[in-house]
């Protein structure tokens, strides 16, 4: 009888590095997780930083003074980039989770098609939208860069 | 059959959609202000920050965003850790620690937002 029980993740984190037969969607998955982790670290720090406004203007300006450096500005832009990717790819993931863009089941007739290939144009579209958002935000970041 | 994990996963998706909307508004104001004229002057100036913080709509938005982002982020990290085949006991410990950390961070962030909204701090 075929084993239908829980199967362990044999590759662990190494599975993030190679798409194998899963193609570009596996790399999108890896990037989704990496950007998610980066956003989480930033967000936890952001909670502490933004809470400093409750301690008054002096504390707020001191904290902002520490963060007003090129290194933090570049880091902030990288987080913005991560957010744009994570959000747009997340929309695609939610849509496919709910069954959108996957098509209906069909006979395996050559040339073969599958649900992953059928949703691939959506991946391209969301990446283009993410790129536009990154470019718009990038111009805004450059304008706000220290010394500008 | 709907398991506890599938319910938590559904909430993870719902929180993601909520974050998309709320953080989208936040990003729109903070980083695309020059394009759309959503902010006059420096968005990070203390006076601008306090003006937004004392607006009821912003205060509600910040608390909702805080809760949704903490849940989505910590649940996502928990999922990644669980995929590394750790023992079941360790999974339970991590779940408890993440719940405690999430609640503590939510209380801290929400207190900051509510305290400022309540105008307990002078501009």
The structure's pTM equals 0.86
Between A71 and A147, where is the model more confident? A71
pLDDT at B37: 64
The residue with tokens 């989505």 is: B72
List the CATH number of the domain containing A139.
Answer: 1.20.1300.10
User: With an 8 Å Cβ cutoff, is A13 touching chain B?
Assistant: yes
Domain membership of residue B59 (yes or no) is: yes
From residue B25, alpha-carbon distances to A7, B31, B79, B96 in Å are 41, 10, 27, 32
Give A47→chain B minimum CA distance, Å. Answer: 6
Give B34→chain A minimum CA distance, Å. Answer: 7
pLDDT at B17: 95
Domain membership of residue A14 (yes or no) is: no
pLDDT tier, B31 (very low <50, low <70, confident <90, very high otherwise): low
pLDDT at B101: 96
For an interface test with B, give the residue of A76, A129, A144 to mutate (most B CBs within 10 A).
A144
Whether pLDDT at B64 is above 80: yes
**Mean pLDDT on B17-32:** 84
Three-class DSSP category at A22 = helix
List chain B residues with CB under 8 Å of A91: 20
pLDDT tier, B43 (very low <50, low <70, confident <90, very high otherwise): confident
pLDDT at B119: 62
Structural domain count of chain A: 1
List the CATH number of the domain containing B66.
Answer: 1.20.1300.10
Please name which of A11, A20, A145, A93 lies closest in space to residue B9, comparing C-alpha atoms: A93
Domain membership of residue A16 (yes or no) is: no
Comparing alpha-carbon positions, the chain B residue that sits nearest to A135 is B32
**What are the pLDDT digits (tens) for A62-86?**
999 988 888 998 998 999 999 999 9
Comparing alpha-carbon positions, the chain B residue that sits nearest to A87 is B20
Domain membership of residue B8 (yes or no) is: yes
Domain membership of residue B52 (yes or no) is: yes
Q: How far apart are CA A25 and CA A18, in angstroms?
A: 11
Are the Cβ atoms of A33 and B49 closer than 8 angstroms? no
**Mean pLDDT on A2-9:** 60
Domain membership of residue B122 (yes or no) is: no
Whether pLDDT at B12 is above 90: yes
Domain membership of residue B25 (yes or no) is: yes
> Around Cβ B41, how many Cβ atoms within 10 Å?
9
**What are the pLDDT digits (tens) for A84-142?**
999 999 999 999 999 898 888 888 888 888 888 889 999 999 999 999 989 988 887 88
Structural domain count of chain B: 1
Domain membership of residue A148 (yes or no) is: no
Domain membership of residue A69 (yes or no) is: yes
Are the Cβ atoms of B34 and A140 closer than 8 angstroms? yes
Poorest-confidence range of A44-58, B15-29, B41-55, B72-86? B41-55
Which ipTM did the prediction report? 0.86
Whether pLDDT at A52 is above 90: no
pLDDT tier, B47 (very low <50, low <70, confident <90, very high otherwise): confident
The residue with tokens 């360790």 is: B90
pLDDT tier, B121 (very low <50, low <70, confident <90, very high otherwise): very low
Structural domain that includes position A72:
23-143
Q: Are A87 and B24 a contacting pair, CB within 8 Å?
A: yes
Cβ within 8 Å of B, A 72-111: 80, 83, 87, 90-91, 94, 97
Comparing alpha-carbon positions, the chain B residue that sits nearest to A14 is B84
List chain A residues with CB under 8 Å of B59: none
Structural domain that includes position B32:
4-117
Domain membership of residue A124 (yes or no) is: yes
Q: Residue A113 corresponds to which tokens in the numbers above?
A: 């098609």
Domain membership of residue B123 (yes or no) is: no
Domain membership of residue A132 (yes or no) is: yes
Nearest CB to A53; choose among B17, B19, B116: B116
Region at A5 (left for phi over 0; alpha for psi -120 to 50; beta for the rest): beta
pLDDT at A6: 61
**Mean pLDDT on B39-57:** 82
Domain membership of residue A134 (yes or no) is: yes
Helix (H) and strand (E) counts for chain A? 4, 0
Whether pLDDT at A8 is above 80: no
Domain membership of residue A10 (yes or no) is: no
Whether pLDDT at B120 is above 60: no
């Amino acid at each position: 009888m075929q084993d239908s029980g829980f199967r362990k993740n044999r590759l662990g984190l190494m599975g993030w590095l190679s798409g194998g037969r899963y193609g570009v969607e596996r790399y999108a998955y890896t990037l989704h997780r990496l950007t998610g982790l980066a956003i989480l670290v930033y967000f936890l720090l952001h909670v502490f930083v933004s809470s400093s406004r409750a301690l008054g203007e002096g504390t707020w300006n001191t904290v902002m003074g520490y963060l007003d450096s090129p290194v933090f500005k570049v880091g902030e832009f990288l987080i913005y980039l991560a957010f744009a990717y994570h959000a747009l790819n997340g929309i695609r993931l939610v849509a496919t989770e709910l069954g959108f863009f996957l098509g209906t089941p069909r006979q395996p007739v050559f040339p073969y098609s599958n649900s992953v290939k059928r949703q691939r144009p959506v991946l391209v579209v969301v990446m283009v939208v993410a790129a536009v958002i990154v470019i718009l935000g990038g111009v805004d970041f450059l304008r706000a860069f220290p010394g500008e | 059959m709907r398991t506890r994990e599938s319910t938590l996963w559904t909430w993870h998706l719902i929180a993601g959609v909520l974050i998309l909307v709320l953080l989208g508004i936040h990003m729109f104001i903070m980083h695309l202000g020059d394009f759309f004229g959503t902010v006059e002057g420096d968005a990070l100036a203390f006076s601008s920050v306090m003006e937004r913080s004392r607006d009821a709509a912003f205060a509600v938005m910040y608390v909702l965003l805080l809760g949704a982002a903490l849940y989505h982020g910590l649940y996502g990290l928990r999922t990644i850790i669980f995929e590394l085949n750790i023992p079941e006991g360790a999974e339970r410990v991590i779940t408890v620690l993440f719940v405690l950390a999430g609640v503590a961070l939510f209380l801290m962030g929400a207190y900051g937002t509510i305290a400022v909204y309540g105008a307990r701090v002078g501009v």
